[in-house]
Amino acid sequence: MHSLTKTFLYGLLIASVVSAMNVTSVLASEDSGNIVFNQMLKCLKLPADAPSAYNFMVVAVIKDGSADFLSINFRTPPSEWEKTAAPLIADAITQCEPYSSISGRTEFAVTRELVEAGSKN
């Protein structure tokens, strides 16, 4: 079980609110979201039969090397697979702590393309 200080929320994210910058920021090599994303991949085990496309927006607040707050947001109403995958993404983020080199709020996308590209590295 996660400690009680960690908060995990699901939310629907209205597509018009999401700027293209949030999606591309995960590609920036020095971006803190990229650090969390790459570290999360080491622990991430998604359910089988992934759909051809999925897109989660993750907001994580890193404090003292650990995820103090996590929000997994959907751009569209989530499929059953996405509902199953979201807590696994959150678990992977908390299991792959510590994030010693970063602090504060980070945002990044988790898409099939990024997961497949990242898992090859």
Task: Give the whole-angstrom CA distance, residue 65 versus residue 72.
Answer: 19
State the pairing for strand pair 7-12/66-74. Answer: parallel
Q: Are 79 and 69 in contact (CB under 8 A)?
A: no
pTM for this one?
0.73
Q: In what order do the strands lie in the sheet with 7-12?
A: 7-12, 66-74, 55-63, 104-111
Task: Give the whole-angstrom CA distance, residue 58 versus residue 107.
Answer: 6
Q: Residue 74, SS3?
A: strand
User: For 41-98, how does the pLDDT look when each residue is reduced to its tens digit (9 = 90+)?
Assistant: 999 999 999 999 999 999 998 888 899 889 999 888 899 999 999 999 999 999 998 9
User: For 3-15, how does the pLDDT look when each residue is reduced to its tens digit (9 = 90+)?
Assistant: 434 444 444 433 3
For 103, phi and psi rounded to 5 degrees?
Answer: -155, 150
Q: Are 71 and 9 in contact (CB under 8 A)?
A: yes
